[in-house]
Structure 1
């Protein structure tokens, strides 16, 4: 009997030991799995940044009654913190053959946005530049997005200038115009200072068509069911264009009025070329001589026409021309359309579609070919290792974007990234605050800053115009 009890006791102890051992092994297994998962996520994040930073699509902030106060509070705190962004807003360090030298930065400029030409990405640079220097922007009325686009700009499309902090009863002029507006030579030169620099950016035509087609969801709006939606659209272009521009689907078009084309010479139209819109306006679209003369006029008016396909080269040209720093032109891609909404097509088909599209948007093709030549002529005149500077800036941009993304994902603990000086630029610190400026939709901040500074000076009035724009 005693032996039987001892055997049962030993069996109980063995079972308890096995149970404890099993729990311990299970716990170790979970700890091991957790550690492996953390290291794997970190590894994948680093690899993703080595290949390409994650593209994000940013949408405008729409304020409501409760969030507006919080947003305004952040604007005020933002304005107090902006002083550290640049150490000197008047003089920057640039390169010369004899080493680094100083030059005075240019602060007055107009940027004409050609729709779907990486303009929102570029505009984040330009808004940030003006915001950190407390410059005056030409802002749309109310909290709108456009300065009358796609209609020609009018005085009622924008707010009066902000009051001067040194003279509260006075008004100051404008420094920067960057929001969507149709180029108007006479009007804008009268509105802006005499030393204003005019810049814009354009895009290779077939890529521009694909981007526009995706972003504005033309396949869905026009109910195109064929697998090759772009090919079907171009094959029956006139039919689909008449449907899109008609009042039948006006409620489905976001901020696009009747009789306006998104795919026919859109870049030329944004640059002010008269092409028959709005109704009653003349069109020079069928006059080759008039088209060439207008493009030559644009070449005289615009100090720089950038190319999307050579974005970094364009930024370095902009930096050199404006006497800005590397930190001024750091960017993050924004408002990028999804790339998987249309099936891939073979190169031969793309070439055929490109040739077909030329018959409907020939003015834009002439425009792009002309400024593509002038772009490379400008680069040919550059000195001091232009392409070396481009390569160096790409490395700086990669380091900065990786720093911002890694901190956001809690993979990096240091609060500051130091970028050392180079032949072309003085070194600078990049902080988490600077990372936030890269990703915020700054037009909302500019609106709120305007209302805060203009208390008692300006009140919004609802526009009574029959024009449809955002």
Structure 2
């Protein structure tokens, strides 16, 4: 027979054991509840179990030339509208933020009153970090996009044929590249910036600088310090997936229809000799591209992985195809002469035939608004947002644009 003391100790041990067991199950319950709370919130994803990913809403995009950057500008504008964000738009009747001048804060409409309270910046500018920082919040995410200089220069040649003296007086792009110094005069660099190392210029550097190894390495290092991410236009879908992850955005935030592209019949075929000459003539851009093309793929391998990237790219393309079937009557971009609604006609430049889209006629109001935004050309979209943000200012004259009433409604879903 057990003594009363032993029985008492046994009861105490049993109570302590049950109490510990209860705490264990309760902790498991609350851990599971917390986990489910995070999973159920579609706007939060886990980078690590204790660090939820939140969508970045302060974003600066350096819009480079002939790099599919108009498509990204459309993505940025749609995101700004979706979350009722403030966009740093060009002042007065301008569509560029002072370009090709080096950017200054007062190039932004309303800067004197709004100050450092803009969320999105994405119109063309020549980068100047200290001035951009006066406009954008300290936690702003900076990114840009580069393109292989070989097709990029050919694209620039066609698009700016009538505006750039070095292009205008040469017969075609191969003739220009055979002897570029015959046509290009560095003293007229402001007129000829599109003809040599244009991406280097857009990042704020001298596009006629000597290709010195020490200088190039210093610039590349500075760009890495100034920008959180550099995308590659030649891998645009992969770039959109990487951007989605970096910003913690949803798939529909980076879905796109290609904008400001041109018809294939306006593409000039570069000779093998011309392709090699571009690497020398635009050697600063070539080294810029090579460097960040490598870091682009390294970033993917370190953050997403190639297998997951392929899955997400396929998902993006599937969703894109769905939206094209919903929105577009032709299921593809069409030439300027086949765009029925001239309000959706993109700006036409040089010898290029800039493509656009025809929307279906039987779309309900909500779907129509979504589809309109996706096909709205850069100038029209800038003019519209300017009218919304600065209703007392004279509207930017973008030529033809959608009637204000058709775009006036602004959706304001709860931000992530």
Q: What TM-score do the two structures reach when normalised by structure 2?
A: 0.69
The answer as to 2:335 corresponding to 1:335 is no
Which residue in the other structure is 2:284 paired with?
Answer: 363
Does residue 1:386 correspond to 2:298, yes or no? no
CA contact 1:199–1:302 (8 Å) conserved in 2 = yes
1:382 Cα deviation from its structure 2 partner? 2.4
Local SS of the residue matching 2:53: strand
Residues 229-268 of structure 1: pairs in structure 2 closer than 5 A: 229-242=172-185, 257-258=190-191, 260-268=192-200
Q: Deviation at 1:262?
A: 1.0
Runs of 4+ in 1 over 6 A off after TM superposition: 407-412
Of residues 84, 93, 98, the one that matches 1:134 is: 84
Residue 161 of structure 1 deviates from its aligned partner by 4.4
Cα distance in structure 2, aligned partners of 1:264 and 1:410: 38
Post-superposition offset of 1:383: 3.6
Out of 149, 160, 163, the residue aligned to residue 216 of structure 1 is 160
State the match for 1:403 in structure 2.
326
1:288–1:158: structure 2 CA closer, same or farther, 3 Å change rule? same
How far apart are residue 275 of structure 1 and its match? 4.1
Q: Is the 8 A contact 2:63 2:145 kept in 1?
A: yes
1:180-239 Cα shifts (integer Å, max 9, x gaps)? 1111122212321110000100100111011101111269962434xxx22211112011
- Higher RCO by CA contacts (8 Å cutoff, separation 6 or greater): 1
Alignment of 1:86-105 (within 5 A): 92-93=42-43, 103-105=53-55
Range with greater deviation from structure 2 (294-303 or 196-205): 294-303
String of CA shifts for 1:391-431, please: whole Å, max 9, x gaps: 11111111112211149978796759xxxxxxxxxxxxx82
Cα distance in 1 for residues equivalent to 2:161 and 2:72 = 23
Q: 1:209 to 1:369 in 2, by over 3 A?
A: same
Residues in 1 aligned to 2:251 and 2:146: alpha-carbon distance in whole angstroms: 22
Rounded to whole Å, the distance in 1 between the matches of 2:250 and 2:304 is 17
Give the Å deviation of 1:95. 5.5
Q: Name stretches of at least 5 consecutive residues in structure 2 with no aligned partner.
A: 1-40, 331-356, 396-416
Determine the C-alpha separation between the residues in 2 that align with 1:119 and 1:198. Answer: 14
One of 221, 234, 240 as aligned partner of 1:309? 234
- 1:124-203 equivalent positions in 2, closer than 5 A: 124-161=74-111, 173-203=117-147
- 2:370: which partner in 1? 434
Which runs of 5 or more residues in structure 1 are unaligned?
A: 1-90, 164-169, 247-255, 277-282, 417-429, 461-470
Query: What does the per-residue CA deviation read over 1:428-453, in whole Å, with 9 as the maximum and x for residues that have no partner?
Result: xx82321111122321111111222x
- Equivalent position of 1:445 in the other structure: 384
**CA drift at 1:339:** 2.6
Given that residues 71 and 258 in structure 2 are in contact (C-alpha distance below 8 angstroms), is that contact kept between their aligned partners in structure 1?
A: yes
SS in 2 for 1:306: strand
Which of 213, 222, 226 does residue 297 from structure 1 map onto? Answer: 222
Distance in structure 2 (CA, Å) of the matches to 1:162 and 1:178: 19
The 1:403–1:360 alpha-carbon spacing in structure 2 relative to 1, beyond 3 Å, is same
Report the secondary structure of 2:90's partner residue. Answer: coil
Distance 1:232 1:342 in 2: 15
Measure the CA separation in 2 of the matches of 1:134 and 1:127: 10
Q: Which has the larger radius of gyration?
A: 1
Post-superposition CA distance 1:320-366 (Å, at most 9, x none) = 11111111111112111333134435xxx2x3212112221111111
Q: Report SS of the residue matched to 2:266.
A: coil
Q: Secondary structure at the match of 2:204?
A: coil
SS at structure 2 position matched to 1:142: coil
Are 2:169 and 2:183, in contact at CA under 8 Å, matched by a contact in 1?
no
Cα distance in 2 for partners of 1:134, 1:172 equals 17
In the other structure, the counterpart of 2:296 is 375
> C-alpha distance in 2, partners of 1:179/1:144?
10
Structure 2 SS opposite 1:359: helix
Q: How many aligned positions are there?
A: 321
Verify the 8 A CA contact 2:59 2:119 in the aligned structure 1: yes
Whether contact under 8 Å (2:150, 2:275) holds in the other structure is: yes
Partner of 2:8: none
Instruction: Note the aligned Cα RMSD (angstroms).
Output: 3.1
